[in-house]
Structure 1
Amino acid sequence: MTQILTTPRAAPARSTRTRHYVMCPPTAFEVVYSINPWMDLTNAVDTGLAQAQWQGLQDVYRALGHRVDLLGAVPGLPDMVFAANGAVSVADRTYGAAFAFPQRQAEAHAHVDFLRAAGREVQRPTHTNEGEGDFLVLRDVVLAGHGFRTSPDAHREAEAALGRPVVSLELVDPRFYHLDVALGVLDDGWGDAPADIAWFPGAFSPAARRTLRRLFPASLECSEAEALAFGLNLVSDGANVVLPTESPELARTLQDRGYHPVPVELSEFVKGGGSVKCCTAELHR
């Protein structure tokens, strides 16, 4: 049985808050290049199954009462399905992406066009960053990863663009190339409960571990096995936590902490190095 390391505490009452998500259909999704340790050109995507799994995720969000807007897929951009990577948005402000690899760079323009058409102010970046892949928004702070895909200089730029303090966290394990595969926001702190996260310490530098334990002393520290199952690539509305079915032990632990786990099957997207959160951008209040 996978071990989950956590600080014991009484489970507080959890409250949901309606969210506004953006998703991109997987009509162009396939693995045709390899830019992360999960992408294997010999492991083909089942496009029919990918479409069904993606639709299932969208259906879950709508059933939970959340709004889902759709960003149109662009032929030739297979990773656009990972909509979280295209920008990070807080209130009426958006900080755009500048992708590290040339295969994905055109995605940034599609996101800017979509967001500006929706009436959002978008600041184009001068430093490399991959949106919510490396920026996770809480009420009082933005957690920001660097080490593989996002420049530390982008953290300062995002802080100014979003008007929100940014905490820099160094990632050191290439399997966890984005912050959102090493850390999941369980509660962003907008309700009665304090902000709460789940994370895998082995993905972070010693300094980043100290920072996270100082900021979140009651956080849920997950095992390597749960992290490698993409269990931390989750989406939470403060009460309902949507996560991969391959993380049953994490789901049980979340239930013990007062959350309602909602497992979904997204195995085809793991072939591209992503899961629930990667497929989901949020337009934060």
Structure 2
Amino acid sequence: MAVTKVVRYLRLVTVNQQRVARKRTYLMCPPEHFTVEYAINPWMDPQTPVDPELAVKQWDRLRETLTGLGHEVFVLDPEPGLPDMVYAANGAFTVDGTGYGARFKHEQRAAEAAAHQAFYRERGWRFVAPLRTNEGEGDFAYLPAAHGGLILAGYGFRTELPAHAEAQEALGRPVVSLNLVDPRFYHLDTALAALDDGNVGYFPGAFSAASQQVLAQLFPDAVLADDTDALAFGLNLVSDGLNVVLNSEATRLAGRLRAVGYQPVPVELAELKKGGGSVKCCVAELRP
């Protein structure tokens, strides 16, 4: 019995040694104009009231959590008439100092793209304006240590498949296309998350059978979420390789992450969930 405990302890130590936090740089946009006035995803209900003050408090807490973990957070100025600007991840996708811009599917969000483009151009980034419909980091994830540097890209509801080829040309990284088949998981970042530079967590039921096979081959050590935590936006998370900031409702997923050496950091984002997003939707990673 004592030997078994020692083996378990050594395994835990080994796992924890593999988890290293890396300082990240993020972009967020405060929900000063956040409301749910229309429904462009299954989670939005204009009849459900939003508490604007609480939304700002929850967003502030998320930002403070990220800066408290040692990360840098830039803030994009919100604009009146664009209530979904708080979901900053959708405005672009960046790799190695290049920003691949968004082209939103729904007209209600179309004007957000220009604000993001201006942010990158003002800071001297190389910026590629898209011709194809895509919704930025909402449908793209980058894993620099996976297979030499790999982009995972979702399609099926928002981003169109030809945008994957466009992103590959713009960013110079191979793109793996993943077919989303459940409308509740309308963006890739609602069903899959980069946990570190080489591994992911995901909910298999959000993907087609073929895409599930691809993910299983690419990431045999992935952390899998069940439907309860996936529907609680548990995978809509931000990770620095060790600390995983995720929705506080995703308790089982937090346990699974802890069991393999990550440190879950739960946050409450109930108001912003009313618009169909959680932690990751509010946070774009800047990769200079």
Q: TM tier, shorter chain?
A: over 0.9
The whole-number CA distance in structure 2 between the counterparts of 1:171 and 1:247 is 21
The structural deviation recorded for 1:91 is 1.3
State whether structure 2 residue 288 is matched by structure 1 residue 279.
Answer: no
The structural deviation recorded for 1:29 is 0.6
Q: Does the residue aligned with 2:32 lie in a helix, a strand or coil?
A: helix
State whether residues 137 and 284 of structure 1, in contact with CA within 8 Å, keep that contact through their aligned partners in structure 2.
no
Q: Identify which of 56, 60, 63 aligns with 2:61.
A: 56
The whole-number CA distance in structure 2 between the counterparts of 1:186 and 1:48 is 31
State whether structure 2 residue 214 is matched by structure 1 residue 205.
Answer: no
* Map 1:191-202 → 2, pairs under 5 A: 195-202=198-205
The structural deviation recorded for 1:130 is 0.1
Runs of 5+ unmatched residues, structure 1: 1-8, 189-194
What amino acid sits opposite 1:31 in the alignment?
V
Q: Identify which of 101, 117, 124 aligns with 1:119.
A: 124
| TM-score when normalising by structure 1 | 0.94
Instruction: Report sequence identity in percent.
Output: 57
The structural deviation recorded for 1:12 is 4.7
State whether residues 143 and 199 of structure 2, in contact with CA within 8 Å, keep that contact through their aligned partners in structure 1.
no
Q: Deviations over 1:86-135 (max 9, x none)?
A: 00011111100000000000000110011111111110101000000000
State whether residues 99 and 125 of structure 2, in contact with CA within 8 Å, keep that contact through their aligned partners in structure 1.
yes
State whether structure 2 residue 185 is matched by structure 1 residue 182.
Answer: no
Q: Does the residue aligned with 2:94 lie in a helix, a strand or coil?
A: strand
> Which residue number corresponds to residue 150 of structure 2?
141
Q: Does the residue aligned with 1:27 lie in a helix, a strand or coil?
A: coil
Q: Deviations over 1:6-40 (max 9, x none)?
A: xxx86352101000000001001100000000000
The whole-number CA distance in structure 2 between the counterparts of 1:221 and 1:258 is 15
The structural deviation recorded for 1:217 is 0.6
Q: Identify which of 254, 265, 270 aligns with 2:268.
A: 265
| Greater RCO, 1 or 2 (C-alpha within 8 Å, sep 6+) | 1
The structural deviation recorded for 1:61 is 0.6
State whether residues 87 and 96 of structure 1, in contact with CA within 8 Å, keep that contact through their aligned partners in structure 2.
yes
What amino acid sits opposite 2:120 in the alignment?
L
Q: Identify which of 156, 159, 165 aligns with 1:156.
A: 165
Q: Deviations over 1:132-183 (max 9, x none)?
A: 0000111010100000000110000001111111110000000000000000
Which structure is larger by alpha-carbon Rg, 1 or 2? Answer: 2
The structural deviation recorded for 1:66 is 0.3
> Which residue number corresponds to residue 103 of structure 1?
108
The whole-number CA distance in structure 2 between the counterparts of 1:118 and 1:56 is 27
Q: Identify which of 226, 233, 244 aligns with 1:241.
A: 244
> Which residue number corresponds to residue 167 of structure 1?
176
Q: Does the residue aligned with 1:28 lie in a helix, a strand or coil?
A: coil
Q: Identify which of 87, 94, 97 aligns with 1:89.
A: 94
> Which residue number corresponds to residue 77 of structure 2?
72
The whole-number CA distance in structure 2 between the counterparts of 1:73 and 1:16 is 30
> Which residue number corresponds to residue 41 of structure 2?
36
The whole-number CA distance in structure 1 between the counterparts of 2:259 and 2:251 is 13
The whole-number CA distance in structure 2 between the counterparts of 1:143 and 1:12 is 26
State whether residues 16 and 262 of structure 2, in contact with CA within 8 Å, keep that contact through their aligned partners in structure 1.
no
The whole-number CA distance in structure 2 between the counterparts of 1:168 and 1:84 is 19
